[in-house]
Amino acid sequence: MKIIRVKKSSPAPPGTMSSSSDSESNPGTTPRHVHSLSSTPKSSPLFRDSGSGSAQESSSLSRLHSAHRSSQDEKIHPRARRKVGRVWHRRRVKVIVGVIGSVGLFFLTNWWMLSRLYDAGHGVKSSSRIANSSLISVQGGLKKLNKGKRPQIHSRMLALAAHALADVGRVWHRRRVKVIVGVIGSVGLFFLTNWWMLSRLYDAGRGVKSSSRIANSSLISVQGGLKKPNKGERPQIHSRMLALAAHALADGQNKPEPKGLWEEPVVPASVWRPCAHQRNWEPSEGNNGYILITANGGINQQRVAVCNAVVIARFLNATLVVPKFLFSSVWRDVSQFSDIYQEEHFVNYLTPDIRIVKELPKELQSLDLEAIGSVVTDVDIMKESKLSFYRKNILPILLQKRVVHFVGFGNRLAFDPIPFELQRLRCRCNFHALRFVPKIQETGALLLKKMRQNVRRSGPLDHYLVGPFAESTMKGKKNRAAKSSRYLALHLRFEIDMVAHSLCDFGGGEEERQELEAYREIHFPALALLKKTTKLPSPEELRADGQCPLTPEETVLMLVALGFNRKTHIFLAGSQIYGGRSRLAALTTLYPNLVTKENLLSSSEIEPFKNFSSQLAALDFIGCTAADAFAITDSGSQLSSLVSGYRIYYGGGRLPTVRPNKRRLASIFLKNSTIEWSMFEKRVRKAVRQTKTIHRRSISRSVYRNPRCRECMCTTE
């Protein structure tokens, strides 16, 4: 693998930024030992391919043969082969029992018919002997009459009676013909039954062999990446479990998926309905001054900053100037608020709450805000500060200078304690006031249509995400099952900033440690210094505590264990995964219907968004939010948080989200060298099922992630 060193003097080139909107925000779940650090992660080119894609493709055939003949294959897979053999033997025993039963039935039928034939023949022969003797007697009497003796009356009738008895023989022959025809029919039925059973036996054998070939194909493909790495290549972890997962997918390809896999606990979830649009106050005059905000980070962190600024403006009775977004030399995205969100809708929708203007009055535009002390940065405000801080420290500046400029403003407002109506205003801004511009909505609708296989179907969130373009999702093929058009969205939070900030080990050896250490020196200098001067938890302790992000290999094992079959269509949010294509090999091999927005949309369709990472992230937001199921790998991700909350608010209990408990999964993955697949599957399903419990928002928890609270949603109970 080619290792790319991160240099101070080399900014990220355009077009290499991650479109996953979390890469620019605080990375995921901050380890507890560095939670006090408030430095915002920066990013760099994230797509680092650890091997040449073309070289992998050209050597795929040789990998298949070598992996198939390797001793590793013989060690890892005898259990799977024995399982296929047991299936074959069970089917063969059933067929053999059926054949024996048919033969027994055949002989029993023949015995019964032959016994009936014997009884009928014995009776007919007796009748024939009586008839013959009677006929001879009558004829003897007739002869005596001819010699002059007394004649016998009714001689004619007696002769006819004798002939009638003689006809009994012909009846016996007709019965024998019927019995013979019955025997022939039974023999024919016997051979027909045997032919049918043998054909079933052949088909069963062919089906088992076909399943075995598919399993071996998937397994060999995975093994191609699991072989002992060459010098410079990144090793792949969990090779044994990936092999078992390949067999599980092959065995379950024709089986129904587990019940509830694509569902949320409907009854408790459906009692909540959106109501943040309801107001119970008069509009603010905003006469205490003006609030400017220049939000940093990516689109999702900026979204949170905007809604928090709306609440602060109302609380301080100030006028809000339309927010601006801070340009990043790393992201190189010049997009402003009006390039992503509908500015007019934002202003008009919130007019009953606060006063919003597009720019400062002319008399304030010429002021040097930094010189007069009106600029407030993230250094001046603690994370999740309470409203009392703003009343005590910001309001005096606002009243004196007439303007306050917040720069950054990432997560600088606490969720509790906060008055009821202000919390509701927060939800109103996030779920109602922020709508994407038509350019993003149109392409987002096209993305949804392609993900649904052009089936004529509209999702429950389409109207809120793509507006009037939701109608275009209803134009497509008819008479196709809804199941064929559903898809799973996956946010794989495994970019380099997240990997480096976690301080975890991901199986890359010394080269990986050096690479991540160099990245920390540049982008997280405080964390790098802390690591050198303080004894921190080991990577093993961090993983056991659930502080490490799930790797692509662990993610695919989780999906297989949950029961998502091989044909599942998966939308992967973002594409700049640490390790590149080789790190995604297991995921793309076991789930070949995995796509990103880059390979789902044509070059002409995605061209207007190139070099605009925030606008690309908006497409990811639409693709994940509208999905039939959404799986996250890191609960601290800003994108995952906003998408989950949006699905709860508008989903009506019909849009499940898979939220893995990383601490529980870590204890399961620690046994990857010995655990059986059935036990692994059972434990993973239990760990994920527990996270599907419907509950109210807890105190101090984000209303953007879980809006199930009286301030944002109402209950029908």
The predicted structure's pLDDT at residue 523: 87
Residue 530, domain member (yes or no): no
CATH value at residue 328: 3.40.50
Q: Report yes or no: 429 and 334 within 8 Å, Cβ to Cβ.
A: no
Q: Residue 592 belongs to what domain range? A: 32-39+240-268+437-496+550-715
86 falls in which pLDDT band (50, 70, 90)? Answer: low
Sign of CA dihedral 463, 465, 466, 470: negative
SS3 for 332-398 is: CCCCCHHHHECHHHHHHHHCCCCCEECCCCHHHHCCCCCCCCCEEECCCCCCCCCHHHHHHHHHHHH
Helix axes 677-689, 239-251, angle to 10 degrees: 90
Q: Are residues 458 and 385 in the same domain?
A: no
Contact 328, 296 (CB under 8 A): yes
Report the range of poorest mean pLDDT among 229-233, 487-491, 518-522.
Answer: 229-233
Residue 167: the pLDDT is 62
Same domain, 709 and 661: yes
Would you state the pLDDT for residue 220?
54
What pLDDT does residue 557 have?
Answer: 97
DSSP letter for 432, please: I
**Digit-coded pLDDT (tens) for 603-628:** 999 999 998 999 999 999 999 999 99
Please, which pLDDT band fits residue 270 given cuts at 50, 70 and 90? Answer: confident
Rounded CA gap, 300 and 432, in Å?
A: 15
Are residues 401 and 336 located together in one domain of the fold?
yes
pLDDT, position 150: 52
Predicted local confidence at residue 608, as pLDDT: 95
Q: Is the pLDDT of residue 73 over 50?
A: no
Are 111 and 190 in the same domain?
yes
Q: How confident is the model at residue 80 (pLDDT cuts 50, 70, 90)?
A: low
pLDDT tops 60 at residue 4: no
Three-state SS across 650-710?
HHCCCCCEECCCHHHHHHHHCCCCCCCHHHHHHHHHHHHHHHHCCCCCCCCCCCCCCCCCC
In a domain, 309, yes or no: yes
Same domain for 289 and 147: no
Instruction: Lowest mean pLDDT of 259-268, 388-397, 421-430, 579-588, name the range.
Output: 259-268
> How much is the pLDDT for 182?
73
Query: In this predicted structure, what is the pLDDT of residue 287?
Result: 96
Neighbours of 27 (CB within 10 A): 27
pLDDT at 72 over 60: no
**Is the peptide bond prior to 258 cis by the omega test (within 30 degrees of 0)?**
no
Same domain, 384 and 299: yes
- Is residue 694 included in any domain, yes or no? yes
Average pLDDT over every residue of 22-30: 46
Total tally of structural domains belonging to the chain: 3
Could you tell me the two tokens for 522?
């540049």
Maximum average pLDDT range among 109-123, 357-371, 451-465, 475-489: 357-371
Confidence of residue 131 (pLDDT cuts 50, 70, 90): very low
- Output the pLDDT for position 163: 62
Give domain status of residue 512, yes or no: no
pLDDT at 253: 84
> Which of the two residues, 178 and 707, has the higher pLDDT score?
707
169 is a domain residue:
yes
| CA 688/CA 558 separation, integer angstroms | 9
Q: Which two tokens stand for residue 262?
A: 């694509």
pLDDT in tens, 414-471: 999 999 999 999 999 999 999 999 999 999 999 999 999 888 888 999 999 999 999 8
Average pLDDT, whole number, for the chain? 80
Q: Are 489 and 34 in contact (CB under 8 A)?
A: no
How do beta strands 570-573 and 594-595 pair? parallel
Q: In what order do the strands lie in the sheet with 657-658?
A: 594-595, 570-573, 488-491, 629-632, 657-658
Q: How many CA atoms lie within 13 A of 618 on its CB side?
A: 28
Residue 351 in contact with residue 283, Cβ under 8 Å?
yes
Domain boundary among 407, 433, 459: 433
Q: What is the pLDDT of residues 375-424, one digit of tens each?
A: 999 999 999 999 999 999 999 999 999 999 999 998 999 999 999 999 99
Compare 195 and 427 and report the one with higher pLDDT.
427
Q: Which range among 30-44, 73-87, 422-436 shows the weakest confidence by mean pLDDT?
A: 30-44
pLDDT tens, position by position, 338-375: 999 999 999 999 999 999 999 999 999 999 999 999 99
Find residue 341's DSSP bridge partners: 436
How many whole angstroms separate alpha carbon 584 and alpha carbon 580? 7
Give me 258's structure tokens: 């587990």
User: Given 398, 433, 468, which residue is the final one in a domain?
Assistant: 433
Angle, alpha carbons 694-696-697 (nearest 5°): 125
3-state secondary structure 85-147: HHHHHHHHHHHHHHHHHHHHHHHHHHHHHHHHHHHHHHHHHHHHHHHHHHHHHHHHHHHHHHC
Q: What are phi and psi of 6, to 5 degrees?
A: -90, 125
8 A C-beta contact, residue 490 and residue 556: no
Q: Which of 629, 651, 636 is nearest to 565 (CA)?
A: 629
What's residue 254's pLDDT? 83
Query: Which pLDDT belongs to residue 178?
Result: 72
pLDDT above 90 for 643: yes
In a domain, 177, yes or no: yes
Percent of the chain topping pLDDT 90 = 54
User: What pLDDT score does 15 carry?
Assistant: 39
What does residue 572 show for φ and ψ, rounded to 5 degrees?
-95, 115
**DSSP string for residues in 264-280:** --HHHHHTEEE-TT---
Confidence of residue 297 (pLDDT cuts 50, 70, 90): confident
Look up the pTM and report it. 0.72
* 649 compared with 35, residue with greater pLDDT: 649
Q: Which residue has the higher pLDDT, 619 or 483?
A: 619
Q: Do 399 and 468 fall within a single domain?
A: no
Do 354 and 481 share a domain, yes or no? no
- The larger pLDDT score, comparing residue 131 to residue 544, is at 544
User: Helices then strands (H, E): number in the chain?
Assistant: 29, 13
Kindly state the tokens that stand for 114.
């032959």
Confirm whether 326 is domain-assigned: yes
- Whether 115 and 161 map to the same domain: the answer is yes
**Can you tell me whether residue 637 is helix, strand or coil?**
coil
The larger pLDDT score, comparing residue 448 to residue 160, is at 448
Give the residue from 411, 433, 455 where a domain finishes.
433
Q: Is 295 found in the same domain as 262? A: no
Q: 120 and 255 in one domain?
A: no
Q: Residue 30: what pLDDT?
A: 44
Q: Are residues 623 and 585 located together in one domain of the fold?
A: yes
Tokens of 3: 């290792």
Of 674, 602, 617, the closest CA to residue 19 belongs to 617
CA angle 567, 571, 572 (to 5 degrees): 120
Lookup: tokens for 323: 């927010």
- Flag whether 6 is in a domain: no
